[in-house]
Amino acid sequence: MIQSNSIDDQARTIQSVLNELGWDSDPHTLVERVKQLNNGLVQEEEFIYILNWLGKCSLIHKLDQMLIVPSAKRNFTIPDLFVVFNDNGVEKSYLIEIKTSKDDKLSWTNTYYQGLINYSRVTGIPILIAWKWRSIDIWTLFELKHFKNPFTNYKIDFSTAICQNLISKLAGDYCVVPYAEIGVHFKFRKDKIIDKKGDKISWQAIVESIYYTGKDGIEIKDIDSDLFSFFFSLPMNESSVVTDTHIISSFTLSSTEFVYAQSIPVWFAQASSGGNVNWLTKIKNQEYHITYDKLIASLNWGIEKEIIRNILYILPNSE
C-alpha cells in the first residue's frame, strides 16, 4: 500500500508539472520520449563507466545538448562528451559522440554528419565516435572520417569500426586470448551429512583446495584470486565429479573465446545488478569489482602460468 501511495504521489506531481508547462497532448507520447532519452543516457553512462575504469582520462565531461541560437540546430550536432586522454604524460583532447545499435552498421543523414564536423571545426577539437553493436557488446572508438557516403547517407559497418578501433591506443583497452583448456576448480571435502532423502544427500563440506588448469590442462596450484574476474567474464561450462570423499566443481571454457578488458567490469556490474544497472550511481560511487591495474597484473601472471595465451594491444588499421 505504501508503494502504491508513493507511485500515486509521484504521478500527481508529474501531472501537476505537465499542467504548469501547458502540456495538452497525450502523456503517453511524453513517456515514450522520456524512455528514449533515458536509453540514450544509459548507453552514454556505460561508456563513461568503462572510460573511467580504464584510467587514461584526466577529464570526462558530458556536454549540454541545448542549442540557444535557433539557426544553430540546422548547422551543428553537439557530441556527447568532451574527454582528455593522458597519453604518456601528453594530454589529448577529443569530442566523442556515443551510439549503440541493434544492427551491424550506422547510417547518418548528411545534416547529422556535417553537424558534428561543424562543431569540431568551430571548437578546434577532433571528434571520435564511440559505437557498440549490441549483438557483439564491444565498444569501438574511431575517427569520423571512416564513415563513407556511397549514396545519400553516411555509413560505417562494424568490421570497419573494429579495424579502425582506437580504444587500445587512447584508452588502454586490451584483447585477452586464453588457452582453450583453461578452467577453475573447487575441491570440497565431504565432512558430514546434513540431510538425506532417498538417493539425494546434502553434505556439509570444506573447501580443501582451489586450482586452475592452463595450457594442455596442466594443474596450477598457486592461485591469483584476481584472475577470477577474468574467468567468470567468459562463457564457462560447469561440471562436478563426486567421489566417496570429495566433490570437485569445475568451470571450464565452453569454447575458444577472447575478451576485451573493457567487458570485465561491465559483466560484473550487470551480474551484481541483475542486468538492470544504474551506471550513473556506479560512476559516482566508483563501484568497480576490480581495478584496471589489478586486472592487468593478474593477466600478466596468467601469461607466466600459461593460462593466458596473449594480451593484445590493438592499433587501428590506418596507422
Mean predicted lDDT score pLDDT of the chain = 87
Q: What is the pLDDT of residues 88-123, one digit of tens each?
A: 889 999 999 999 999 999 999 999 999 999 999 999
| Short-list 217, 263, 254, 310, CA closest to 54 | 263
| Short-list 112, 96, 269, 218, CA closest to 166 | 96
Task: Output the CA angle 247-238-175, nearest 5 degrees.
Answer: 130
Q: Domain boundaries in the chain?
A: 12-173, 176-312
Count of beta carbons in the 10 Å neighbourhood of residue 290: 17
Count of beta carbons in the 10 Å neighbourhood of residue 223: 15
Share of the chain above pLDDT 90, in %: 65
CATH number of the 12-173 domain: 3.40.1350.10
pLDDT for 34? 47
Q: For residue 319, is pLDDT > 80? A: no
C-alpha 129/C-alpha 165 separation (Å) is: 10
Q: From edge to edge, which strands make up the β-sheet containing 236-242? A: 219-220, 200-213, 183-197, 246-253, 236-242
